[in-house]
Amino acid sequence: MLALINPALYNKSLIYNYSFRLPNILLFATNNIDMIHADNVDPKKHLAKMGAWSMEAPKKVLVVDDEDRNLRLMEAMLIPLGYKVYLAANGEAALSGVKDNPPDVILLDIMMPKMDGFEVTRRIKSDEETRFIPIVMVTALKDVEDRVRALEAGADDFLTKPVDKVELRARVRSLLKVKAYNDHMKSYQRQLEQEVAHRTEQLEQAFKRINMASLETIFILSRAAEHKDEDTGSHIRRMANYSAAVARKMGLPDRTVEAILYAAPMHDVGKIGIPDGILLKPARLTYEECEIMKTHTTIGGHILTTSLPGFLQFGKVIAMTHHEKWDGGGYPLGLKGKKIPLAGRIVAIADVFDALTSKRPYKEPFSLEKSYGIISEGRGTHFDPDVVDAFFAIEEEILSIKGRYKDEEESIFLQTVRRSSSAGACPVLP
């Protein structure tokens, strides 16, 4: 198919509106005849380059007027300008059209039966989705008061009836620029929000991975510190989770619960400073040896001294106070009652419960009943009564943790070293 188009005769809007008639092969008549072949050049791109084609979809203009004659008149003026024109004969139809197929600009009559232009404007401008659509009030009213009312309702511009074609084109074009800018800004804002959400998600994931790595590092280092004393790493995992569960039950904030979970495994890190002759003694400890053994609390506090806030400082507090007793009979400072930091009071019960219910070289695990009995007896003497109550209130969770972290096989190292049934036993230590 072949066509000859002279832009002097066909303005660009006409070409646009009848774009579906573009031939496969087009001869475009200008001062310089230019031949375009569809296989080589996209005719649309070529026309756009010539300024006779808009690559964008046609802008949508909604005309609202209760008089059919006015609607047709506006339509006849707008279509040649290249706009896609929608018509609405009343306010309700206009609102429905705006919702279903948002236009780029609205030409709105003021004086209409039932819902007038002021009300239509107010409704469109009060909706977050449609408030950026420019509205031109088309009115015969010249009264300043009416114009002020229209502006207050949210109108963006005015056209006076009878509408002048040149003025209409200028107003619509100008408001479309504003609309395009607003659309661009909205799209940019959406992109920014998506980007921020994406980056936040990435940061949260990275933070989680770092936290997991930190926790695992703590477990491994704590296990190394306890390697010669405890036979498995499950003890520190269990008692850390018991401690966090009790802390949560006591209503402590999530961040504190997490800090206790991270810090509790380090409670006995000071044992690294206890001589092997005492730590691994294959017989009951003497009084003097027990006193040295007790210093694992202060050694741990010294090791964990840091100026950084966070769970390491919690670790220091726990290392220093997990052997304090509610009645003041504990060590190293003999603190009493609430003078013992809560984290220390919580870890104390978790540590003792796990020691009672676990196998040790010098004892078989105690039954749950016997262990619960010992904890109950210690309520108000060894342990903070509130912590004991919280512990028993989450018995199911405690047992679930106990089941999740079972003891591993005792290491060959410990099997070799601990030949005596009383090895490492110290009456003041759990």
> Smaller CB distance to Fe ion: residue 258 or 268?
268
Q: How would you classify the pairing of strands 34-37 and 25-28?
A: antiparallel
Torsion angle in degrees (nearest 10) through CA of 208, 209, 210, 213: 120
Shortest reach from residue 201's CB to Fe ion, in Å: 40
> Smaller CB distance to Fe ion: residue 156 or 268?
268
Q: How would you classify the pairing of strands 105-109 and 34-37?
A: unpaired
**Segment 285-288 long-range contacts (CB within 8 Å, at least 24 positions apart):** 285/424, 285/425, 285/426
Shortest reach from residue 294's CB to Fe ion, in Å: 9
Tell me which stretch binds Fe ion (CB under 5 A): 92-100, 151-159, 160-168, 266-274.
Answer: 266-274
Task: Report if residue 324 touches Fe ion, rule: CB under 5 A.
Answer: no
Applying CB under 5 A, what is the total number of residues that bind Fe ion? Answer: 1
Classify the phi-psi angles of 334: left when phi > 0, otherwise alpha if psi is within -120 to 50, otherwise beta: left
For residue 194, which amino acid is it?
Answer: Q
- CA dist 186 and 197 (Å) reads 16
> Smaller CB distance to Fe ion: residue 14 or 428?
428
Tell me which stretch binds Fe ion (CB under 5 A): 23-31, 165-173, 263-271, 326-334.
Answer: 263-271
- CA dist 170 and 172 (Å) reads 6
Shortest reach from residue 350's CB to Fe ion, in Å: 11
> Smaller CB distance to Fe ion: residue 268 or 324?
268
> Smaller CB distance to Fe ion: residue 179 or 382?
382
427, two tokens:
């009456």
Shortest reach from residue 268's CB to Fe ion, in Å: 4
Shortest reach from residue 330's CB to Fe ion, in Å: 11
Shortest reach from residue 254's CB to Fe ion, in Å: 26
Shortest reach from residue 412's CB to Fe ion, in Å: 25
For residue 6, which amino acid is it?
Answer: N
Binders of Fe ion among 138-197, rule CB under 5 A? none
Q: How would you classify the pairing of strands 84-88 and 34-37?
A: unpaired
Shortest reach from residue 311's CB to Fe ion, in Å: 18
Helices and strands (H, E) in the chain, number of each type:
18, 8
Cβ atoms 155, 137 nearer than 8 A: yes
> Using CB under 5 A, which of 157, 229, 258, 268 touches Fe ion?
268
Interaction mask 385-424, Fe ion, x per CB under 5 A: ----------------------------------------
**Rg of the chain, C-alpha, whole Å:** 41
CB-based closest residue to Fe ion: 268
> Smaller CB distance to Fe ion: residue 230 or 268?
268
> Smaller CB distance to Fe ion: residue 125 or 302?
302
- In 3D, which of 299, 376, 377, 306 has the Cα closest to residue 332? 299
Tell me which stretch binds Fe ion (CB under 5 A): 126-134, 250-258, 267-275, 310-318.
Answer: 267-275
- CA dist 371 and 109 (Å) reads 85
3-state helix/strand/coil string of 132-181:
CCCEEEEECCCCHHHHHHHHHHCCCEEEECCCCHHHHHHHHHHHHHHHHH
Per CB under 5 A, residues contacting Fe ion are 268
